[in-house]
């Protein structure tokens, strides 16, 4: 049934999903298995430094052999990401900060921009994950694998010490757990759930904008799920806090990993019971109802006020299209 499994994990249009790897989670404690995988000629490594994957400068290669990890490492942590449908293993290698240097870039002749370089390797360049994803520098499956690598590497960077007693913790389970040898606590990688949703009133949906959004862009409302809350409760609370709209029925649509640093966006539609919006002014600078035709005009880039849809890498883009399809 292996082929059927991989069939179910194809990229399906949302950014950072569809890596198509078998994570082999049942074998993460098997040291011999891991040693063999790491030594395979077809083993591939995602190099991560300071939250950024290292890509090839020209061809945009994203996966590298162990020899390169050893040449510019050694890695602080290696994580088994999974095996592809041919059985080739993919690892993330978190490199020490000293593997890169910051240099001035005068390439535009005027501004002194700071860029990261790998000393002695002009063919390699660290690229921030938003740029990789938004500019489509690599295929969608690769974006998903790089996102997975970034999220787990970031967790190791920020969780070197036991949250229970403060002692340094140790990497185990092929990079998917840390253990404290002093108090014996086990620590697992975090995923922070975020609800993102459209309140729907018949043929209208509610969109808002934060001051930090690109000019003219409106998007779905969103917020972190809190301890003790269901997804449905978080959806209703966030909509009410940000717009004073009251909703009842909540429908789950789809989810998306969002590695900034480690969120899971949970996309929903919610049925609105009230109409009058009061913008909270804190999180949002504006929120309003959009008729179906207006959303179509935004997607077709012919809105009279030049309003813009969220980027197609973001689940908000697909939630809106899902709603448009009815
Ligand atoms: Zn401890």
**What number is the average pLDDT over the span 73-80?**
95
User: Does pLDDT of 54 surpass 90?
Assistant: yes
CB 276 within 8 A of CB 242: no
CB burial string 21-47: b at 16+ within 10 A, e below: bbbbeeebeeeeebeebbeeeebbbbb
In whole angstroms, how far apart are CA 194 and each of 184, 224, 232, 314? 30, 4, 12, 13
pLDDT at 147 over 60: yes
The Å distance, Cα 181 to ligand 1 centre, comes to 7
pLDDT confidence of residue 2:
53
Output the CA 182–ligand 1 centroid distance in Å.
5
Which has the minimum average pLDDT: 46-50, 117-121, 205-209? 117-121
Ligand 1 centroid to residue 153 C-alpha, Å: 21
Distance (Å) from CA 33 to ligand 1 centroid: 28
Task: Of 268, 267, 323, 275, give the one whose Cα is nearest residue 296.
Answer: 323
pLDDT of 86 above 50: yes
Ligand 1 center from residue 186 Cα (angstroms): 8
- Compute the mean pLDDT over every residue in the chain, rounded to the nearest whole number: 92
Pair 207, 219: CB distance under 8 Å: yes
The answer to whether 207 and 285 have CB atoms below 8 angstroms apart is no
- For residue 177, how far is its CA from the centre of ligand 1 (angstroms)? 13
CA of 228 to the centre of ligand 1 (A): 26
Compute the average pLDDT of residues 73-79.
95
Ligand 1: distance of its center to the CA of 168 in Å?
Answer: 8
Distance 51 CA to ligand 1 centre (A): 26
User: Ligand 1 centre from 240 Cα, in Å?
Assistant: 40
1 pLDDT above the threshold of 50: no
Report how far ligand 1's centroid is from the alpha carbon of 78 (Å).
Answer: 22
Mean pLDDT of 186-202: 97
What pTM does this model have? 0.91
CA 158 to ligand 1 centroid distance, Å:
15
CA–centroid distance, residue 161 to ligand 1 (Å): 8
Average pLDDT over residues 252-271: 95
Cα of 95 vs centre of ligand 1, distance in Å, is 25
Ligand 1 centroid, distance to 52 Cα (angstroms)? 29
Distance (Å) from CA 179 to ligand 1 centroid: 8
C-alpha of residue 49 to centroid of ligand 1, in Å? 27
Per residue in 206-256, pLDDT tens? 999 999 999 999 999 999 999 999 999 999 999 999 999 999 999 999 999
The pLDDT confidence band at residue 3, using thresholds 50, 70 and 90, is low
| Mean pLDDT in residue range 100-120 | 78
Kindly give the distance from the C-alpha atom of residue 188 to the centroid of ligand 1, in angstroms, as a whole number: 13
The DSSP output letter for 310 is: P
Which tens digit of pLDDT belongs to each residue from 284-320? Answer: 999 999 999 999 999 999 999 999 999 988 999 999 9
Identify the pLDDT of residue 107.
67
pLDDT of residue 282: 83
C-beta neighbour count of 122 within 10 angstroms: 9
Mean pLDDT for the stretch of residues 45-54? 96
Distance 248 CA to ligand 1 centre (A): 43
């Amino acid at each position: 049934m292996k082929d059927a499994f991989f069939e179910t994990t194809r990229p399906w249009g949302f950014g950072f999903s569809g890596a198509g790897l078998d994570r082999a989670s049942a074998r993460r404690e098997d040291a011999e298995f891991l040693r063999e995988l790491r030594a395979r000629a077809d083993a591939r490594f995602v190099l991560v430094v300071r939250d950024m994957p290292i890509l090839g400068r020209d061809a945009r290669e994203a996966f590298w052999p162990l020899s390169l990890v050893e040449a510019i490492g050694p890695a602080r942590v290696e994580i088994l990401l999974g095996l592809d449908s041919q059985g080739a293993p993919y690892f993330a290698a978190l490199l020490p900060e000293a593997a890169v240097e910051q240099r001035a870039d005068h390439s535009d002749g005027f501004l002194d921009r700071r860029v990261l370089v790998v000393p002695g390797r002009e063919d390699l360049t660290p690229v921030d994950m938003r740029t990789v994803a938004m500019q489509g520098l690599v295929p969608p499956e690769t974006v998903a694998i790089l996102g997975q690598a970034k999220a787990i590497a970031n967790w190791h960077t920020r969780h070197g010490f036991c949250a229970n007693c403060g002692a340094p913790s140790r990497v185990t389970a092929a990079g998917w757990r840390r253990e404290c040898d002093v108090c014996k606590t086990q620590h697992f990688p975090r995923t922070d759930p975020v609800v993102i949703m459209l309140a729907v009133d018949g043929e209208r949906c509610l969109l808002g904008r934060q001051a930090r959004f690109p000019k003219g862009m409106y998007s779905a409302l969103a917020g972190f799920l809190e301890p003790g809350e269901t997804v449905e409760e978080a959806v209703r609370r966030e909509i009410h806090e940000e717009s004073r709209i009251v909703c009842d029925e909540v429908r789950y649509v789809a989810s998306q990993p969002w590695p900034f640093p480690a969120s899971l966006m949970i996309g929903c539609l919610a049925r609105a019971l009230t109409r009058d919006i009061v913008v909270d002014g804190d999180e949002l600078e504006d929120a309003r109802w959009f008729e179906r035709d207006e959303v179509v005009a935004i997607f077709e880039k012919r809105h009279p006020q030049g309003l813009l849809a969220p980027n197609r890498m973001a689940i908000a883009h697909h939630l809106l299209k899902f709603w448009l399809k009815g």
